[in-house]
Amino acid sequence: MIKAAGLDEVTDANFADVVLKADLPVLVEFTADWCGPCRQLAPVLSALAAENGDRIKVVQIDTDTNPETMIAYGVLSAPTLILFRGGEPVKSMVGARPKRRLRKELEDVL
């Protein structure tokens, strides 16, 4: 998996504890080693997490090794970003994007 600096990795086993029970909104990136756009998105997510860690938690999950969560949320491609608030998915975005666009899409959280 393309690990973005400063981001926690979640798995099928700890997804509920880390994401669904979190106090803050959580942005989950569904990623994979073979995914080129995921590599482009990694520094964007790292910067977002570093700049907004008090308002949002950003984590990654590898779709190849954690298929249950991917299937449960209907993820069909990588990267897919899903924003969870109060344990519920509230927004889904597919594909890499520049930081400015991602900040705008998440402005209600940030």
Tens of pLDDT along 55-85?
Answer: 999 999 999 999 999 999 999 999 999 999 9
- Write down the pTM of the prediction: 0.95
Which residue among the candidates 2, 18, 26, 38 is catalytic per the annotation?
38
3 falls within a domain: no
Residue 86 pLDDT greater than 90, yes or no: yes
Which residue among the candidates 35, 41, 56, 96 is catalytic per the annotation?
35
b/e 35-45 (16+ beta carbons within 10 angstroms → b): bebbeebbebb
Residue 3 pLDDT greater than 80, yes or no: no
Token pair for 74: 């209907």
Spacing of C-alpha 36 from chain mean position: 16
Cβ-proximal residues to 20 (8 Å cutoff; 6+ apart), any chain: 84, 87
Residue 35 among the catalytic residues: yes
Residue 38 among the catalytic residues: yes
pLDDT tens digits for range 7-28? 899 999 999 999 999 999 999 9
76 falls within a domain: yes
2 falls within a domain: no
Q: What is the CATH number of the domain that holds 85?
A: 3.40.30.10
Residue span of the structural domain in which 21 resides: 8-104
